[in-house]
């Protein structure tokens, strides 16, 4: 009988990381011309399970809130409202968008990006983009129609979709410039209440969040010796 210490165990259980889901996402302000507010929408983006491990099924989380208070007066080049705090944002009050009532989210298109390094990009044609793959939701709703209401009691709207993360670490015969790649990004395009948004999110040091909060990049599975 082999000793347990001689067996390499790969930690695959996503349940170990549930508590990290919200803390390690990137929050971003989206301006609304219709409401004359530079931070009318708050969007929170990250992996469904964090830390994200190589060669595991993972997913994208997108949560969206809107301001039902007064337009924010914060300097969003230095800070952004707290996604989890609905009461202390300088007059702004954020509540989840509600696609079962007055809100609509249409024409959603999301690409998963594999990148050479943790740096923000403005286009999928950027030299740091290795590949861009269209992500399809798995709950049965269509990409071009209104998205269904989330059953999550905290966030009225939640978009989720699954995909397999790529490997990390050096690859035999691979170009040196792509060795050890575990950097991911998400290109998110959607029409929210008749306003079109086109945003790039990159993990780790590629974040544009002024407080540098970011979702984690993909890491190698941990092995127990």
83-111 burial by CB neighbour count: b if 16+ within 10 A, else e? beebeebeebbbebbebeeebebbebebb
Q: The whole model's pTM is what?
A: 0.79
Our measurement of the distance from residue 218's CA atom to the centroid of its chain's CA atoms, rounded to an integer in Å, reads 13
Token readout for 223 is: 């092995």
- Phi and psi angles of residue 67, each rounded to the nearest 5 degrees, phi first: -90, 115
**What's the angle, vertex CA 138, arms to CA 205 and CA 158, rounded to 5?**
55
Q: Residue 204 — left, alpha, or beta (φ > 0 → left; ψ -120 to 50 → alpha)?
A: left
- Phi and psi angles of residue 11, each rounded to the nearest 5 degrees, phi first: -80, 105
Distance CA 122, CA 2 (A): 52
Residue in 188, 41, 20, 168 with CA at minimum distance from that of residue 111: 188
What pairs with residue 196 in β-bridges? 191
Return per-residue pLDDT of the chain as tens, 225 residues.
444 333 223 332 322 333 344 458 999 999 999 999 999 999 999 998 888 888 888 888 888 999 999 998 889 999 999 888 777 677 889 988 887 788 888 888 889 999 999 999 999 999 999 989 887 654 444 443 334 444 444 455 566 667 778 876 555 444 545 556 789 999 999 999 999 999 999 999 999 999 999 999 998 877 766
């Amino acid at each position: 009988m082999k000793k347990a210490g001689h067996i390499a165990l790969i930690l695959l259980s996503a349940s170990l990381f549930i508590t990290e889901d919200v803390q390690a996402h990137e929050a971003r302000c989206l301006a609304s011309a219709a409401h004359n507010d530079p931070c009318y929408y708050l969007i929170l983006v990250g992996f469904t399970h964090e830390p994200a491990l190589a060669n595991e099924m993972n997913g994208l989380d997108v949560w969206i809130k809107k301001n039902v208070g007064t337009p924010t007066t914060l300097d969003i080049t230095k800070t952004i409202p707290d996604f989890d705090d609905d009461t202390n944002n300088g007059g702004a009050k954020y509540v989840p968008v509600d696609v079962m009532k007055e809100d609509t989210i249409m024409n959603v298109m999301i690409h998963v990006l594999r990148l050479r390094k943790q740096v923000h990009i403005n286009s999928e044609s950027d030299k740091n983009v290795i590949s861009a793959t269209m992500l399809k939701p798995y709950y049965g709703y269509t990409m071009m129609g209104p998205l269904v209401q989330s059953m999550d009691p905290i966030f009225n709207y939640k978009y989720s979709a699954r995909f397999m993360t790529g490997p990390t670490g050096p690859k035999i015969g691979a170009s040196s410039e792509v060795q050890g790649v575990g950097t991911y990004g998400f290109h998110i395009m959607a029409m929210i209440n008749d306003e079109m948004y086109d945003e790039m999110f990159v993990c780790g040091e590629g974040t544009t969040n002024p407080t540098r909060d970011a979702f984690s990049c993909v890491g190698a599975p941990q092995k127990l010796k």
